A and B are shown apart, each in its own frame.
Chain A
Amino acid sequence: MIDLTRRYRFAAAHRLHSRSLTAEENARIYGKCNNPYGHGHNYILDVTVAGPVDAATGMVFDVAKLDLVVRQSVLEPLDHAHLNLDVDRFQNLTPTTENLCMEIYGILSANLTHEPGKAFLKRVRLEETSSNYFEYEG
Chain B
Amino acid sequence: MIYLTRRAEFSASHYYHNPALSPEENRRIFGKCNNPHGHGHNYTLEVTIAGEIDPATGMVLNIRDLKELLQSEVLDRMDHRFLNAEVPAFASRIPTTENISIEIWNLIAAKLTFGRLHRVRLYETPDLYVDYYGA
Interface residues on B, range: 20 to 34
Instruction: Please report which residues of chain B, range 107-135, place their CB below 8 angstroms from some CB of chain A when the two chains form the complex.
Output: 126-133, 135
Q: Which residues does chain A contribute within 8 Å of B29, judged by CB atoms? A: 57, 62
Shortest distance between the CB of B60 and any CB in chain A (Å): 23
Q: Is A58 an interface residue (CB 8 A)?
A: yes
Q: Give residues in A with beta carbon < 8 Å to B.
A: 1-8, 53, 56-60, 62-64
Q: Is B98 an interface residue (CB 8 A)?
A: yes
Q: Which residues does chain B contribute within 8 Å of A6, judged by CB atoms? A: 127-128
Q: Give residues in B with beta carbon < 8 Å to A.
A: 16, 18, 20-21, 29-31, 93-99, 101-102, 126-133, 135
Would you list 7 pairs from A and B whose C-beta atoms are within 8 A, ordered by A residue?
A: A2-B102, A2-B132, A6-B127, A7-B127, A53-B98, A57-B30, A58-B93
A15 to B130, CA, bound (A): 35
Taking a contact as CB atoms under 8 Å apart, the answer to whether B131 and A60 are in contact is no
| Nearest 4 pairs of A and B residues by beta carbon | A58-B94, A58-B96, A7-B127, A3-B131
Of B95, B129, B132, which contacts A58 at CB under 8 A?
Answer: B95
Taking a contact as CB atoms under 8 Å apart, the answer to whether A2 and B131 are in contact is yes
Taking a contact as CB atoms under 8 Å apart, the answer to whether A1 and B102 are in contact is no
Q: Which residues does chain A contribute within 8 Å of B30, judged by CB atoms? A: 57
Q: Which residues does chain A contribute within 8 Å of B93, judged by CB atoms? A: 58
